[in-house]
């Protein structure tokens, strides 16, 4: 129970990678603030499931792409926390357009939403929760990117999403340097192409499966990502900060999409 007494806010956590991360941190004793936009029923059910681990849990609606929602989410999360502080912030949520499309074919509203949801909203949420972490001289912030985001390569047909996430790479590294004296570590997790139901599966559940695009042979799972998140959140991981961690099994989404 290494995280007992800590409170984590995980954006986009009703389903998928965020859900598995919430379950993993709850098992370590962490109180959990879930966040959703449309999946209210799933979020509330998950909150009830988390409480079986002997922790507190709640679900708060908020769209990270909307500045007013970010303000409300931060305020409600702090008010709910026993300490009045969010100790761990996992920025998992981020809009993505699956359809492959050249930049010229995007609508202006889509460009704005992708940048707001994947960069600006993340920065605003960090900004609202940093004072509490500074006050306690302890904090963990984790941003989510994509495999090989740290290399800043061209990603045709993903221009806006890639630009927002690679901008977040620089912000992650800068924030890590600025906040290290305050006991706050900052990292980016970059998952590979973890698909569909595998986002909520354990490693054991996919051991017999083959993924030809993975250099390791097996598909990735939510557990692969959540284990790394949990490790970086541990008190003993305080000497690590500013890292861009690929959790990809060797998969390269950029090269694959260019073929």
Pairing mode, if any, of strands 184-191 and 244-247?
parallel
Residue in 109, 83, 112 with CA at minimum distance from that of residue 4: 83
DSSP state letter for 252: -
**pTM recorded for the entire structure:** 0.95
CA separation (Å) from 65 to 117, 147, 164, 172, 182?
4, 22, 12, 18, 28
Distance of CA 63 to the CA centre of its chain: 14
Please give the chain's pLDDT, 259 residues, in tens.
Answer: 899 999 999 999 999 999 999 999 999 999 999 999 999 999 999 999 999 999 999 999 999 999 999 999 999 999 999 999 999 999 999 999 989 999 999 999 999 999 999 999 999 999 999 999 999 999 999 999 999 899 988 899 999 999 999 999 999 999 999 999 999 999 999 999 898 999 999 999 998 788 767 767 788 999 999 999 999 999 999 999 999 999 998 877 766 655 4
Residue in 30, 38, 87, 95 with CA at minimum distance from that of residue 58: 30
CATH T-level assignment (fold) for domain 7-258? Rossmann fold (3.40.50)
Measured CA to CA, the distance from residue 240 to residue 184 in angstroms comes to 10
Residue in 158, 173, 147 with CA at minimum distance from that of residue 249: 147
């Amino acid at each position: 129970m290494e995280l007992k007494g800590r409170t984590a806010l995980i954006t986009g956590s009703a389903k998928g990678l965020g859900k598995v991360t919430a379950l993993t941190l709850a098992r370590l004793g962490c109180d959990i603030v879930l966040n959703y936009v449309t999946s209210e029923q799933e979020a509330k059910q998950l909150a009830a499931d988390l409480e079986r681990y002997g922790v507190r849990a709640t679900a708060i609606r908020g769209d990270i792409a909307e500045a007013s929602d970010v303000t409300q989410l931060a305020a409600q999360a702090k008010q709910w926390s026993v300490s009045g502080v969010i100790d761990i912030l996992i920025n998992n949520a981020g809009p993505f357009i699956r359809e492959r499309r050249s930049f010229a074919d995007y609508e202006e509203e889509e460009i704005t939403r992708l940048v707001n949801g994947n960069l600006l909203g993340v920065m605003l949420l960090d900004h609202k929760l940093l004072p509490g972490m500074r006050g306690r001289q302890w904090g963990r912030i984790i941003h989510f990117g994509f495999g090989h985001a740290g290399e800043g390569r061209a990603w045709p047909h993903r221009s806006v999403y890639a630009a927002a996430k690679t901008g977040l790479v620089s912000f992650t590294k800068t924030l890590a340097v600025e906040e290290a004296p305050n006991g706050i570590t900052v990292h980016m997790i970059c998952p590979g192409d973890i698909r569909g139901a595998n986002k909520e599966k354990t490693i054991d559940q996919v051991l017999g499966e083959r993924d030809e695009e993975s250099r390791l042979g097996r598909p990735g799972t939510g557990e692969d990502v959540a284990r790394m998140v949990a490790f970086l959140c541990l008190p003993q991981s305080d000497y690590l900060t500013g890292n861009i961690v690929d959790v990809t099994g060797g998969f390269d989404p950029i090269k694959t999409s260019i073929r």
